[in-house]
Amino acid sequence: MYPHYIFPGLPAPLTIKAFDYEYGLSLETLASLFDQQIETKIQDAAAAAARAEAALAAIHGSFMWRVTRPIRWAEQQVEQLQEDGVSTRVVAFVEKMHRLLVRQVLARVTGRRGLSRVQRYLEKVSHQQALVVAQRQALLAEQRKIPLDPAIIQQAYQTRERIETLSPEAQEIYQRLQNSRAPRS
């Protein structure tokens, strides 16, 4: 209501009286409708995601997906050969075969009497293999992120030439320093 104490005795102006009545929807009703719309959109998105997951599961379970698996694997191998090079892939293959062999022998030895020393040795070898693989993967990831700068390569060759011109005692000190920096397994 219009405060009559401001202008006592005067009638309230028409513009002020217009605000005495409620028109349209209240703020609470609008907020509630907005929340309902958001909830509907969330439910629709969840339903679409569930349909997409079901479709993807159907594709992965299909006959054609299973039949074309070797082709996809071969494409992946070709891509890795192009990225890493033949020698790196051959080394990775040999290491993988070695790891599989160690795991197979370890599975047959585990729990057998009299073979606990062999089991501990194989567990140690398996752990060292895992460390080597992790280090190689980290190195490959680092190499892929940082393109080789020709200036850095030139500097590396110059450093190598300077090391080769050192006296035998200085080269021995350099080698000890390099060995002390190398990660220990």
Residue range 101-124: average pLDDT?
77
**Residue with the two structure tokens 């393109």:** 147
Minimum mean pLDDT range among 3-7, 92-96, 157-161: 3-7
pTM, 2 dp = 0.37
CA–CA gap between residue 141 and residue 138 (Å, rounded): 5
Residue 118 neighbours by CB under 8 Å, 6+ apart: 109
- Residue 185 pLDDT: 46
Ordered by start, the domain boundaries in the chain are 14-65, 85-146, 150-185
> Within 13 Å and on the Cβ side, how many CA atoms surround 112?
12
Could you give the 3-state DSSP secondary structure of residue 169? Answer: helix
Q: What is the pLDDT of residues 49-87, one digit of tens each?
A: 999 999 999 998 999 989 999 999 899 888 888 887 888
Closest CA to 178 of 168, 163, 165: 163
C-alpha distances out from residue 141 to 82, 85, 89, 135, Å:
15, 14, 15, 10
Q: Of residues 84 and 14, which shows the higher confidence score?
A: 84
DSSP letter at 166 equals S
